[in-house]
Structure 1
Amino acid sequence: MIEVVDTYGVRSLHFGTYPKQSAMSLAEPDRLELSYVRAMLAGLLFKPEPRNILLLGLGGGSLAKFLLNHFPECRIDAVECRSAVATVAYEYFGLPEDARLAVHVSEGNDFVCAEAERREAEYDHIFVDVFDHQGLAETVNQQDFFSATRRLLHSEGILAINLWGTQTQSLRQSMSLLNLYFDRRTMRLQVPGRGNVIGFGFGQRAQRTEMGELKQQAKALELRLDIEFPRFLRLLSYSGWR
């Protein structure tokens, strides 16, 4: 079931349950309403000018819309398993028709496995936000999914995956797979006041950066994008990286 609900000036997308799959302020439709979506952009601290982006899980299209608005040189492949969700994103959430955005109707796991077989690593940012009405989609929490996304990621690129912290076993499995396939070049961010945990995996040529070195970058990005990057920087921690 796909539901669009307007409450107190916020339009939200639901899949038949209470949790919001996407949300948009009706007064500020281009702003990222949900804090976990903003937190997924913490990878911009390390690679601030995304060009080739893979977005797994379109939802209402808020992240795709934000990236198109703020990064005119970027190109986005967005993968959504239900065509009806993509239709809702265009009709109710203002996702623009843009030549830089290609929407693929496919299961995320099927898409990345097929793409990893036929082309070289290309994406400098991969965002994974693939949930169903129960939680993280089971097809994501698999070895072949993490292996394929790793092969599709540029050697200096970053993967960000939205995880649900209250699902302890699923979270542990996801972080274990992330550490395995990204050779422990990983970080995590507990989203303040939410159950979301954002996991980050870095390409093979990425170098560990001390947090203090990123403070100026965080301040500059906050001014540019109106996102609380200094706060996210304080909450980032190296998960497996030594």
Structure 2
Amino acid sequence: MGLIEVVETCGVRSLHFGTHPKQSAMSLAEPDKLELSYARAMLAGLLFKPEPRKILLLGLGGGTLARFLFNHFPECRIDAVECRPAVAEIAYEYFGLPKHARLTVHVSDGNEFVCAEADRREAEYDHILVDVFDHQGLAEAVNQQDFFSASRRLLHPEGILAINLWGTETQSLRQSMGLLNLYFERRTMRLQVPGRGNVIGFGFGERLEHAEIADLKQQAKTMELLMGVEFPRFLRLLSYSGWR
């Protein structure tokens, strides 16, 4: 399943899958903050759905995003899916992932999980956050029609899906955004992460009202103060890729 490494450099503990890019990172001095900008950018959907009751994370990594959401939304239940048991163990041991009834880690393939769950339950997740990478890039299994179709069925009609993509992998990015536009009927946005190769794609549920970006400026400032995430900057960088 590939090499898994935990490395500490300059006060930052990071998780690597045998390559230089960080899969997760945590400041040892400020462990409750999100260290990686792409992880913070994935939260831009909170501007449109700010009080989640249930969240699905596909790809646990070091668990920093799961822990951040767990701490900031005490009434929210979180399901996290990770295909490698060793990664989940590392998240608990080295990155402080809490063990709590509100936070369930499922050791499973992300595509298999969403397809199975979509067949047996009603749409219920307010946010689905997809960050499924291996040492080669975006996991091929999630860049498929059945994955996007099942994820759409699992999402609440007023919910938002966010997927972390590599902007430098042009063919993969085009395929992912094409599938996102197809299954979310062009109710989509995208965000190029500043200074990074990451592009975050967003798909919106059919009952989520269209919001003008200008109307969210004050909310973005308030949320920045509460969560330590640069929401105003992300708001400026969001673009409608299909939704009008």
**TM-score interval, smaller chain:** over 0.9
Q: Find the aligned partners of 2:46 and 2:124 in 1 and give their Cα distance.
A: 17
- Aligned pairs for 1:167-182 (under 5 A) are 167-182=169-184
> Which residue of structure 2 lines up, in the alignment, with residue 10 of structure 1?
12
Residue equivalent to 1:234: 236
State the 1:50 CA deviation.
Answer: 1.1
Aligned mate of 1:47, from 38, 46, 49 = 49
Query: Which letter maps to 1:95?
Result: L
- Which of 154, 160, 163 aligns to 1:161? It is 163
In structure 1, list runs of 5 or more residues that go unmatched: none
SS at match of 1:183: coil
Give the corresponding residue for 1:80: 82
What is the number of residues matched between the two proteins? 242
1:118 to 110, 114, 120: 120
- Matched AA of 1:86: A
Q: Counterpart in 1 of 2:140?
A: 138
CA deviations on 1:114-144 (whole Å, 9 max, x unpaired) are 0000011010000000000010000010000
- Aligned counterparts of 2:212 and 2:223: Cα–Cα separation in 1: 17
Identity of aligned residues (%): 83
The two structures have a TM-score, normalised by structure 1, of 0.99
In 1, Cα distance between the equivalents of 2:210 and 2:171? Answer: 28
Name whichever of 200-209 and 129-138 sits farther off.
Answer: 200-209
Taking the aligned partners of 1:134 and 1:92, their CA distance within structure 2 comes to: 24
Letter in 1 for 2:24: S
Query: 1:21: how far off?
Result: 0.5
Coordinate RMSD, CA, aligned: 0.5
Letter in 2 for 1:92: Y
Gaps of 5+ in 2: none
Instruction: Choose 143-152 or 94-103, whichever is displaced more.
Output: 94-103
In the alignment, what sits opposite 2:25?
23
Of 64, 71, 75, which aligns to 2:66? 64
CA distance in 2, matches of 1:214, 1:166: 30
Task: Give the counterpart letter for 2:48 in structure 1.
Answer: F
Runs of at least 4 residues off by over 2 Å: none
Deviation string for 1:202-222 (max 9, x for gaps)?
A: 001122211110001101100
Q: Does 2:197 correspond to 1:191?
A: no
Q: How much does 1:80 deviate?
A: 0.1
CA distance in 2, matches of 1:167, 1:60: 24
Answer yes or no: is 1:36 the counterpart of 2:38.
yes
Please list the CA deviations of residues 79-110 of structure 1 after superposition, one character each: whole Å capped at 9, or x if unmatched. Answer: 00000000000000010111100100000000
The aligned residue for residue 225 of structure 1 is 227
Distance in 2, matches of 1:84 and 1:226, equals: 30
Aligned to 2:94: 92
Q: Which residue of 2 aligns with 1:103?
A: 105
Tell me the TM-score normalized by structure 2. Answer: 0.99
